[in-house]
Amino acid sequence: MSISAGRAALLPDATLPLVYFAGAHVALALAAGLLLVDPDLPGAFHYHPRMIAVVHLVTLGWISASILGAFYIVAPLAFGMPFAARRADALACVSFWSGTVGMVLGFWWAAYAVVGVASLAVLAAVAIVAVRAIRGLRAARMPFGVSLHIALAFANVLLAGSAGLLMALGRGWGVATWSPLAAAAAHAHLAVLGWGVMMVVGVSYRLVPMFLPAAMPTGRALAWSAVLLEIGTLGIAWALLTAQTVAPWALVVVAAFVAFLRQVRGILGDRRPRPKDLHGRDWSTWQTHAAMLYLVIAVALGLWIVLAASSPALVWAYGVTGILGFVAQMVVGIQGRLLPMHAWYRELARLEGTPPARSAHRLADGRATLTIFLTWAVAVPLLTGGLIGQSPATIATAAGLLLASSVVQAWHMARIARGARSPA
């Protein structure tokens, strides 16, 4: 059998997504390993260089690298948009990882000039993927509302990263104009909400119906969550930077989540028959449900901080539930569903169009996905409690669990890739 040119153009790249994912697992394991070896590292207050190094291992290393790698799978398979990895994409991947290593080391040594210079490599890499993605979206037959989320997500990460570059150079050469703490908080919200959350919401509109399965949502209303999230995120970042009231903008972000959840309710109400090969519970999807629970908790904590009173304990809880409980865990769940699909299409390409004997729904190992789900289910609340209560033993236990999970996740990824080659 041979593959038509049109179909071949919509096959995901065989290697590049896995390279991003492999690096992402190393970064997550390293972040967890550092906390396991030195559970006193976080201390009472989050804002210090070594903690920020750990934060970027998670936010850049785990979350952003996973998003970039996943984009090479999601674009062709879920957006119907050719996105073959070319030489520039391979170079971008190398640039992303060298820059991330440089940034993390720079933070670790509190050498902000190093952070600034290294961040240029990260920004260049993201810009290459972003330009290709935004160009491709114009040609893809996707609802405008979904494309808007993706385009804004890329624009936001470039904005947040450029702001981070200026902050780092400002600190490195002692020319900071804004309060460094306020600037860091503004940058963090722009990156986490504008990039991580915007991307998760946008791709969910295509992936949730694919995974369930259900009918694809359409219509202009899909744009609401993008518009509200963008306005709310920019408003929060500006208000944090200029020490103005954050509350109205936080409410706009809440409205964005309401718009998103309304769409998800619509998707759930228009189900299609479940594939016969998909047996038992799908723990990766359950992990995305757990992540959604953390979204609700993080929003509640954020509103509490804004409307009532803030304290270091509340900020720890807000940061861990928002970044680790919601965004990082959502990435784990989505990756758990994307990997079998990727492995199946990779095998299809290798067999030149002959469908692989083993169904994509039979590639994941239920015991591994359950272990990953349970480990995160215990580790996230434990880490939150350990940071709030300043308990090194609890922090070390949570970190040990996350380290174990990252090892199981990486092993499972390799197993899925190999499994697609085995008989039915």
Question: By the criterion CB under 6 A, which residues form the site for ligand HEM?
Answer: 46-47, 49, 52, 55-56, 59-60, 63-64, 115, 119, 122-123, 157, 160-161, 164-165, 167-168, 171, 180, 184-185, 187-188, 191-192, 195-196
* Interatomic CA distance for residues 335 and 324, integer angstroms: 15
One DSSP character per residue, 207-271 reads HHHHHTTBPPP-SGGGHHHHHHHHHHHHHHHHHHHTT---HHHHHHHHHHHHHHHHHHHHHHTTB
Residue nearest to ligand HEM (CB): 164
Q: How far is the CB of 107 from ligand HEM (least distance, A)?
A: 7
Closest CB to ligand HEM among 75 and 118? Answer: 118
Q: How far is the CB of 203 from ligand HEM (least distance, A)?
A: 15
Closest CA to 70 of 383, 421, 336, 315: 336
Q: Which residues contact 150 (CB under 8 A, 6 or more apart)?
A: 79, 133, 134, 137, 199, 202, 203
Which amino acid is located at 316 in the chain?
A: W
* Interatomic CA distance for residues 226 and 232, integer angstroms: 10
In Å, how far from its chain's centre is CA 92? 18
* Interatomic CA distance for residues 79 and 229, integer angstroms: 21
Closest CB to ligand HEM among 46 and 346? Answer: 46
Buried b (16+ CB within 10 A) or exposed e, 173-210: eeebebeeeebbbbbbbbbbbbbbbbbbbbbbbbbbbb
Q: How far is the CB of 162 from ligand HEM (least distance, A)?
A: 8
Q: How far is the CB of 193 from ligand HEM (least distance, A)?
A: 9
Q: How far is the CB of 140 from ligand HEM (least distance, A)?
A: 24
Closest CB to ligand HEM among 10 and 130? Answer: 130
224: left (phi over 0), alpha (psi -120 to 50) or beta: alpha
Residue 321, φ and ψ in degrees, nearest 5: -70, -40
Residue with tokens 């996973």: 66
Closest CB to ligand HEM among 199 and 408? Answer: 199
Q: For the CA atoms of the chain, what is the radius of gyration?
A: 21
Closest CB to ligand HEM among 167 and 250? Answer: 167
Q: How far is the CB of 184 from ligand HEM (least distance, A)?
A: 4
* Interatomic CA distance for residues 245 and 238, integer angstroms: 10
Q: How far is the CB of 286 from ligand HEM (least distance, A)?
A: 24
Burial of 280 (0-12, 13-18, 19+ CB in 10 A): exposed
Closest CB to ligand HEM among 119 and 335? Answer: 119
Adjacent-strand bridge partners of 44: none
Closest CB to ligand HEM among 46 and 132? Answer: 46
* Interatomic CA distance for residues 15 and 407, integer angstroms: 20
Closest CB to ligand HEM among 47 and 238? Answer: 47
Closest CB to ligand HEM among 60 and 228? Answer: 60
